[in-house]
């Protein structure tokens, strides 16, 4: 069994951060060591929430605690997502280095959540800069959306060709794999939900149905990043992991759309996450 140290947010109500990623990764047979950067009542897109950011010392203390019981060598990957403070970025990098010292084969997956004020996704000052200046160079895999792709590269990325150039730039900055979780309006077809996967062997594009919601569900990127790394740890190739992730997320989005509810319907979709009924295929484009 593979083990992931997943360092991201936790919401008590609804699905975002670890709440959106942990159960799906467990469904794929991966043990998840969830370490929360914040604990909120609900995700920030509601516009109001309770709870608090965890002190940065908690990350190092917990990782050290696992080390002290001689179990850190069993950690196969560190996944980071929503970060509660700028200081936590360095703590996460330190945690990965400690894991790497115990297991040289361990990998770091950075889901570079930078916030989206228009959608109500709020992150603390300095987090974006920490992700750009510290985390990206350390990451084996990075999973930006369109907004984050622009920030990581400093490029405008206003069309599909520019998106391809941007992922190539990221591959020169440290990461070995780039998964663009959502191309949004720079995709090929405005009626589709589109993603990119890039590695040293090329770039692949996949599209699936785009579901329309009165309020866009939150946590889709967290779910996507978690499923992708879980698939890789289970031995799937990059392409196989990419396709399974896209299809499993599609099933969750379809169930969420049918429900008429705001929160992701992950529990309702549990069987479909493991065995998606759809079969969208990626196409190599570069």
- CA dist list (Å): 16 to 10, 78, 152, 168, 238: 7, 18, 22, 29, 25
- Euclidean distance between the first and final Cα of the chain, in Å? 34
- 140 is known to lie in a ligand binding site: no
- 224 is known to lie in a ligand binding site: no
- 156 is known to lie in a ligand binding site: no
- 44 is known to lie in a ligand binding site: yes
Distance CA 112, CA 174 (A): 14
Distance CA 267, CA 19 (A): 11
Length reported for the chain: 286
Q: At what angle do helices 220-233 and 18-27 cross, to 10 degrees?
A: 30
- 148 is known to lie in a ligand binding site: yes
- CA dist list (Å): 124 to 8, 26, 251: 14, 29, 32
Tokens of 267: 């529990």
Binding residues for substrate: 9, 44-45, 222
Binding residues: 9, 44-45, 111, 148, 181, 222
């Amino acid at each position: 069994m593979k083990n992931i140290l997943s360092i991201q947010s936790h919401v008590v109500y609804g699905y975002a951060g670890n709440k959106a990623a942990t159960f799906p990764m467990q469904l794929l047979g991966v043990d998840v060591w969830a370490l929360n950067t914040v604990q909120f009542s609900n995700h920030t897109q509601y516009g109001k929430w309770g709870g608090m950011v965890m002190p940065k010392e908690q990350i190092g203390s917990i990782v050290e605690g696992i080390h002290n019981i001689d179990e850190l060598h069993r950690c196969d990957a560190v996944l980071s997502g929503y970060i509660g403070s700028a200081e936590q970025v360095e703590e996460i990098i330190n945690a990965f280095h400690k894991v790497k010292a115990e297991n040289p084969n361990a990998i770091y997956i950075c889901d570079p959540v930078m916030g989206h004020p228009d959608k109500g996704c709020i992150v603390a000052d300095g987090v974006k800069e920490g992700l750009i200046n510290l985390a990206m160079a350390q990451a084996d895999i990075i999973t930006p959306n369109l907004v984050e792709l622009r920030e990581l590269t400093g490029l405008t990325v206003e069309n599909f060709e520019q998106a391809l150039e941007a992922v190539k730039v990221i591959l020169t900055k440290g990461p070995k794999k780039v998964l663009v979780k959502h191309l949004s309006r720079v995709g090929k077809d405005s009626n589709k939900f589109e993603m990119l996967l890039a590695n040293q062997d090329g770039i692949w594009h996949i599209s699936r149905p785009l579901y329309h919601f009165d309020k866009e569900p939150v946590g889709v990127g967290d779910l996507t990043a978690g499923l992708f790394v879980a698939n890789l740890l289970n031995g799937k190739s990059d392409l196989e992991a990419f396709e399974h992730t896209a299809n499993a997320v599609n099933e969750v989005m379809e169930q969420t759309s049918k429900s008429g509810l705001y929160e992701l319907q992950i529990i309702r979709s549990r069987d479909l996450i493991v065995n998606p009924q759809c079969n969208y295929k990626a196409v190599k484009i570069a």
